């Protein structure tokens, strides 16, 4: 049995930041499904939103966030995150993150603007901010003597008092499958933190990495945590449309720097949908693109920034420029074919302002959590800021708690299972799930579509639970199990919202209700004391 003071599940910005903040004070274990640099944080292009210029203000950033959130942002959580923005950026700079300097003076940092923001406040490292941040922090985590990194380990489930037959339902650690050996290890921890990201891979088309399978949300639900607002799945308006690129994101900053959305004939369409045109929030832009594609029978629309100088584009968007050029698209001359794709899970496990969930000893931070910041639609580049601020809040909470003695936890029991006979069941169910979620629970929804999805999810649940009970587990089975549960929570939440708000648009309920309310689902084993 492995033992740590804190076990962190996930190696995105939330997990790495927390590990570095805890490591000077205690022993930390960090497990990640692939390598430490795999995950959604490393793919973030645009940057991190924070109030860093004199002509900006905390109130302006808060107001922009509240407007994007369509009435469902928690104002206390929003102020907490925004007010700690500069502190979080200063910490990253101290760690050595190479943010892009302003060309004018070479000293201050260049700030860009993105959809929904009233000011330039996005600090970035060219167009590969996430990669720069993750590389910098990962090196420090790997080299810290108090941090043990376990790569290619996927969590099976949390170990709770309820599962151990104890009176309390505290979390005591987790079981994790080594993808290298196929063996399940038992990991005991005083505190366990879910930082596994979102559930984007529940959809056929997604900007998310393959690791985004809703693991933390599903494990937290099974452990007895409530989830909130799972119907709000953000579809990024501009994912590259190309047969050889399934999930390459074209950053929001391209539109922030003057990129225009056009039909195949070169005509703009965003001014017809919103007075903010290309700089409208993501939900509005994604729905507009979806509307134009369906109305005209298009496979994609086009994002054109070729009117900007070539040197400007090569300097500000080197990653996008190089990737597109490799595919035969010269963004200095050609428009970029784009389509919306599932991008961010705005809902998640209910937490307080320190990241604590309903289960004692269990925290959730980053995209896995519902903190109240994002409301019904996430404002661009607020996600990495949330990771940083809540990593600090969770660290402060964890370090303030008295340490309990470790329990001797039972080993994983495989005595009643056998090797799988037909793994085609997993691949078939995976493909079916992602296809019907895209068709029935996408950008525009109806009651009938949601009911169709719910019926299919019920059948998949039964097949997967039978498979899980009788055969040895694999990473593919664990991910599918978590994806189906995440899909179920999304559909249940969508069925409960009888209005259109933010990222949830229903043709049966096109109006927005005067009072905004959260969708909170409670698991059968919930026993908050």
List where CATH 3.50.50.60 sits in the chain.
2-231+346-400
Percent of the chain whose pLDDT exceeds 90: 76
pLDDT range class, residue 432, cuts 50, 70, 90: very high
502-523 residue pLDDT tens: 999 999 999 999 999 999 999 9
pLDDT, residue 516, reads 95
Q: Which residue ranges does the chain devote to CATH 1.20.58.100?
A: 424-509
- Token pair of 65 as six digits: 């966030």
pLDDT band with cut points at 50, 70 and 90 for residue 406: confident
Measured at the CA of 106, the angle between CA 102 and CA 112, to 5 degrees, comes to: 5
Q: Which residue has the higher pLDDT, 438 or 261?
A: 261
Q: What is the mean predicted confidence (pLDDT) over 243-266?
A: 90
Compute the mean pLDDT over every residue in the chain, rounded to the nearest whole number: 93
The contacts of residue 494 (CB under 8 Å, 6+ apart) are 230, 231, 441, 445, 450, 504, 506
Beta strands 147-151 and 28-32, pairing class: parallel
Give the Cβ contact number of residue 408 at 10 Å. Answer: 7
Rounded to the nearest 5°, which phi and psi values hold at 348? 160, -160
> What is residue 168's predicted lDDT score, i.e. its pLDDT?
87
Q: What are the counts of helices (DSSP H) followed by strands (DSSP E) for the chain?
A: 14, 18
| pLDDT at 357 (0 to 100) | 98
- Which token pair is 303? 């994002």
Output the pLDDT for position 377. Answer: 92
Q: Tell me the mean pLDDT in the region 466-490.
A: 92
pLDDT of residue 421: 66
Q: What is the pLDDT of residues 45-76, one digit of tens each?
A: 779 999 999 999 999 999 999 999 999 999 99
Q: For the segment 138-194, what is each residue's pLDDT rounded down to a tens digit?
A: 999 999 999 999 999 999 999 999 999 998 899 999 999 999 999 999 999 999 999
Strand arrangement of the beta sheet that strand 122-123 belongs to: 48-49, 122-123, 111-112
pLDDT digits (tens, 9 = 90+) for 84-113: 999 999 999 999 999 999 877 777 899 988
Task: Return the pLDDT at 45.
Answer: 73
Which carries the bigger pLDDT value, residue 363 or residue 299?
363
Out of 1.10.760.10, 3.40.50.150, 1.20.58.100, 3.30.390.50, select the CATH number for domain 424-509.
1.20.58.100
Query: What interhelical angle do 475-496 and 424-440 show, nearest 10?
Result: 20
Q: Which pLDDT tens digit goes with each residue over 356-385?
A: 999 999 999 999 999 999 999 999 899 999
Task: Tell me what pLDDT residue 105 has.
Answer: 76
Which residue out of 113, 170, 255, 282 is catalytically annotated?
282
Under 8 Å CB-to-CB from 408, ≥6 apart: which residues?
Answer: 1
Is CATH 3.50.50.60 the right assignment for the domain spanning 2-231+346-400?
yes
What pLDDT score was predicted for residue 142? 93
The percent of the chain in helix, strand and coil, each rounded to the nearest 5, is 35, 20, 45
**pTM given for the model:** 0.91
427 pLDDT higher than 80: yes
Taken in order 141, 142, 147, 151, the sign of the CA dihedral is: positive
Delimiting residues of CATH 3.90.700.10 domain(s) in the chain: 235-342
CATH topology of domain 235-342: Flavocytochrome C3; Chain A, domain 1 (3.90.700)
Confidence (pLDDT) at 422: 66
For residue range 202-246, what is the model confidence (pLDDT) as tens digits?
998 888 888 999 999 999 999 999 999 999 999 989 999 998 887
The reported pLDDT for the residue numbered 348 is 98
Query: What does the DSSP 8-state code read for residue 524?
Result: T
User: Is 456 one of the annotated active-site residues of the chain?
Assistant: no
Pairwise pLDDT comparison (470 vs 268), residue with the higher score: 268
Average pLDDT for residues 290-304, to the nearest whole number? 92
Q: pLDDT class for 23, splitting at 50, 70, 90?
A: very high
pLDDT of residue 38: 81
pLDDT of residue 355: 98
């Amino acid at each position: 049995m492995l033992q740590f003071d804190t076990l962190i599940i996930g190696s995105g910005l939330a997990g790495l930041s927390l590990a570095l903040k805890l490591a000077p004070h205690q022993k930390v274990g960090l497990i990640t499904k692939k390598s430490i640099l795999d995950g959604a944080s490393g793919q973030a292009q645009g940057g991190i939103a924070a109030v860093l210029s004199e002509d900006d203000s905390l109130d302006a950033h808060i107001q922009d966030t509240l407007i994007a959130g369509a009435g469902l942002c928690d104002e206390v959580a929003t102020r907490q995150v925004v007010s700690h923005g500069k502190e979080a950026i200063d910490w990253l700079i101290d760690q050595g993150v190479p943010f892009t300097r302003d060309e004018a003076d070479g000293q201050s940092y260049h700030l860009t603007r993105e959809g929904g923001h009233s000011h330039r406040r996005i600090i970035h490292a060219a167009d590969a901010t996430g990669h720069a941040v993750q590389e910098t922090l990962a090196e420090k985590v790997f080299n810290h003597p108090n941090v043990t990194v376990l790569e290619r380990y996927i969590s099976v489930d949390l170990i709770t008092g309820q599962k151990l037959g104890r009176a309390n339902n505290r979390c005591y650690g987790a079981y994790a499958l080594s993808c290298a050996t196929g063996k399940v290890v038992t990991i005991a921890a005083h505190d366990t933190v879910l930082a596994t990201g979102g559930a984007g891979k529940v959809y056929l088309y997604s900007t998310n990495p393959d690791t985004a399978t809703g693991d933390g949300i599903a494990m937290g639900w099974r452990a007895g945590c409530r989830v909130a607002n799972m119907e709000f799945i953000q579809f990024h308006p501009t994912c590259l449309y190309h047969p050889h690129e399934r999930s390459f994101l074209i950053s929001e900053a391209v539109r922030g720097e003057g990129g225009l959305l056009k039909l195949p004939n070169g005509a703009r369409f965003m001014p017809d949908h919103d007075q903010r045109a290309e700089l409208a929030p993501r939900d509005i832009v994604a729905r507009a693109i979806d509307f134009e594609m369906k109305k005209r029978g298009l496979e994609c629309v086009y994002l054109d920034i070729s009117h900007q100088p070539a040197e400007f584009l090569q300097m500000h968007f080197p990653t996008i420029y190089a990737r597109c050029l490799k595919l035969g698209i010269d963004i200095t001359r050609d428009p970029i074919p784009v389509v919306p794709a599932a991008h961010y899970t705005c809902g998640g496990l209910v937490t307080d302002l320190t990241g604590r969930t309903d289960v004692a000893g269990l925290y959730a931070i980053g995209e896995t959590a519902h903190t109240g910041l994002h409301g019904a639609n996430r404002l661009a580049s607020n996600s990495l800021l949330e990771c940083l601020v809540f990593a600090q809040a969770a660290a402060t909470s964890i370090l303030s708690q008295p340490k309990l003695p470790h329990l001797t936890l039972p080993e994983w029991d495989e005595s009643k299972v056998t090797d799988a006979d037909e793994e085609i069941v997993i691949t078939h169910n995976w493909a079916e799930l992602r296809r019907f979620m895209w068709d029935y629970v996408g950008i525009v929804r109806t009651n009938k579509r949601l009911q169709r999805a719910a019926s299919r999810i019920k059948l998949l649940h039964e097949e997967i639970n039978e498979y899980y009970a009788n055969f040895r587990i694999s990473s593919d089975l664990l991910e599918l199990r978590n994806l189906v549960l995440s899909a179920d929570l999304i559909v249940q939440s969508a069925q409960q919202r009888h209005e259109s708000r933010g990222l949830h648009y229903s043709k049966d309920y096109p109006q927005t209700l005067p009072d905004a309310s959260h969708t909170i689902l409670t698991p059968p084993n919930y026993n908050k004391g």
